[in-house]
Amino acid sequence: MHFNDEYIDFHCHPSLKPFGKSFNYTPTGIHISHRNSKRSIWHYNPPSIFDKLLNYATGLTKFSQANFTSLVKGGVGIVCVSLYPLEKWFVRNKMNNELLLDLTANFALGVGDKRIDYLQEITDYFKDVEAQYDFYKQLDAKIVQLPEGKFRYKLVSNYKEIEAIKNQNASGGKVHTICVILSIEGLHVLNTGLKQPFSSEEILENLEKIKNWEFRPFFVTIAHHFWNQLCGHSESLSGIILKFADQSEGLNSGFTSMGRKVLERLVDDTNGKRIIPDIKHMSIQARKEYYQLLDSGNPKFANIPVIGSHAACNGLKSFDDPVIAHPKTANKLNPVSINFFDEEIIRIAKSKGIIGLQLDERRIVNKKTLKKTKNSLKRNKIMHYRSELLWNQIQHIAEVLDTEGLFAWDCMVIGSDFDGIIDSLNGFWTAEELPYLADFLERHAYNYMGAHNLENIKNVLDADEIIARLMSKNGRNFLKNYF
């Protein structure tokens, strides 16, 4: 039987919840293949009415969004999964009462109280990222029986392997395979950011170990939510979590000298082992410093595509001139520094890089726009209004590039950030709804292109072609060129 498996998601966290739940058992980190187990990446847990209401009210997501059963149902054939040891400072924060601390963190993340206990006392992030890598390896290529048929996932280390699997799937084999590409979110995984002195030798040794993994990460974000002693971060938390977790240390700073060493090793392409830096979460200062290196003519930094794997635009023109140049779309965007400036969109396109558009309502539009978004009790109307929020991002990128005389449609992909503590677009709760998202985006694209908004003739494409590029073709091309 042939499934639609054309879609690609460049950033999600399928193992965050099942790996977390594995801490309720001894030994920890054991991956169960049976989909009824909460310790399985195949465990299907669609949102109940209560889950949706809770999400409406608080923005918290308890249900699983990117489990592999949902990916299958949503037609995702290639997925970049993020290895991410939750930072200790999420769960060791300004709340003093231990029980309250546990309940809040567990409630917010759905990872299980034993996992929270472990993170509160964590002393070695590297050991944790190795355990997460091992979690994926345990069920690599193991066949799982679902009501829809036989499935498995396969860790891949280059594009040739993806092509071979895709051909196998297309020939209608008995087992259907999802291709899994590893990435890492936050280089605190090298064992920094624990508010204590670090060992430079240990950091570089840990990086070498990662570079020599059989399934080396394709890209890594250097910064994440808290100061990791390598690279400054942008403010990234909001709502309930921000009240209790303090991001101020290292906020908006640049690279440290240790951070620069790590960056140089990361991009070192000896034996084809380069790992591409992902600019998401970097502060403006750190991004400026990174771009200077890319422009420096230093051969180490040549031919590196700029990636933001799960990102959004902020509608502002540039770092030095943060004004709005495209008001029609930009006025609806969230003008925060973690989101990308127009000049960065242009840089990404020129570098043959990618912007993975994330599906977090709080990121992709400002509060005013979100408030003004029409509500409805009808599912298709909710989907129409909420998908329009994402379309506005797509349109903004297209118009910025079109104005520059660049091709507008080849640098966008989906980087949902599902299961990454996001408040997803209402109506598009999990990976299972991605086909609906594609359909609704195509409607917006059709209406937009019908009004002849773009100046550059090569940017005038059919709506179905634009969405096929976003959901699939751009990602395939990017992987073909760099993976």
What is the tens place of the pLDDT at every residue in 167-219? 988 887 789 999 999 999 999 999 999 999 999 999 999 999 999 999 999 99
The number of CA neighbours under 13 Å toward the Cβ of 399 is 21
The structure tokens 């400002």 sit at 366
Per-residue pLDDT, 1: 42
Using N-to-C axis directions, what is the helix angle for 200-211 and 125-138, rounded to 10°? Answer: 10
- pLDDT-based confidence at residue 97 (cuts at 50, 70, 90): low
For position 240, what pLDDT does the model report?
65
Banded model confidence at residue 52, pLDDT cuts 50, 70, 90 = confident
312 neighbors 366 (Cβ within 8 angstroms): no
Is 80 exceeded by the pLDDT of residue 93?
no
DSSP 360: B
| Mean pLDDT score of the chain | 93
Q: Of 90, 65, 47, 81, nearest to 156 (Cα)?
A: 81
Work out the percent of the chain whose per-residue pLDDT is above 90. Answer: 81
Question: What does DSSP assign to residue 473?
Answer: I
Asked whether the predicted pLDDT for residue 77 surpasses 70, the reply is yes
Which residue, among 129, 273, 143, has the nearest Cα to 214 in the 3D structure? 273
Alpha-carbon distance of 318 to 32, in angstroms, equals 48
- The secondary structure of residue 171, as a DSSP letter, is T
Q: How many Cβ atoms from other residues are within 10 Å of residue 180's Cβ?
A: 21
Q: How far apart are CA 354 and CA 197, in angstroms?
A: 35
Let me know if domain 7-482 sits in CATH 3.20.20.140. yes
Strand partners, 39: none
Of 219-223, 243-247, 354-358, 377-381, the range with the lowest mean pLDDT is: 243-247
Confidence of residue 94 (pLDDT cuts 50, 70, 90): low
Structure tokens at 52: 């949706």
Indicate the range of 87-101, 270-284, 461-475 predicted with least confidence.
Answer: 87-101
Please write the tens of the pLDDT for every residue from 321-353. 999 999 999 999 999 999 999 999 999 999 999
Structural tokens at position 220: 């890594």
Banded model confidence at residue 304, pLDDT cuts 50, 70, 90: very high
